Amino acid sequence: MKKVKITVSGLVQGVGFRYFCYKKALDFGVKGYVKNLHNEKVELEVEGDDGIVNDYIKEIEIGPVYAEVNAINVLELEYKGEYNSFSIF
C-alpha cells in the first residue's frame, strides 16, 4: 500500500480539476482528498495499492480537457490507512 501527497501547478483552478481528480479517484478506488491552495496550485493526498496509485498519478498529470498541468510534485508518505473515501475540499 502507498500514500502520496501531490502538488499540481499550472492552470488547475476554475477548470474542473478537483472534480476530475474526484471522479478518477472513484474510478481507481483510491482514497484521500483534493483541495485548492492559495497559491493557485492543487493539493492531493492519495492512498491505495502501489500500482493503482501510480496509474492514478499518470491520469492527474494529464488532467481534464480545460486544464494545463505544468508541473506535478509527488511526495511519498508513510501509509496509515487513514482515509475511508475521497473528498473534495
The string of pLDDT tens digits covering residues 60-83 is 999 999 999 999 999 999 999 999
The pLDDT score that the predictor gives to residue 72 is 97
3-state secondary structure of 31: strand
Which tens digits make up the pLDDT trace of 42-53? Answer: 999 999 999 999
Annotated active-site residue in 36, 54, 70, 73: 36
Q: Which fold has domain 2-80?
A: Alpha-Beta Plaits (3.30.70)
The answer to whether 18 is a known catalytic residue is yes
Q: What is the pLDDT of residues 4-53, one digit of tens each?
A: 999 999 999 999 999 999 999 999 999 999 999 999 999 999 999 999 99
Domain limits of the chain?
2-80
Q: Indicate if 39 belongs to the active site.
A: no
pLDDT of residue 42: 98
| Predicted local confidence at residue 84, as pLDDT | 96
Residue 25 to residue 34: CA distance in whole angstroms: 10
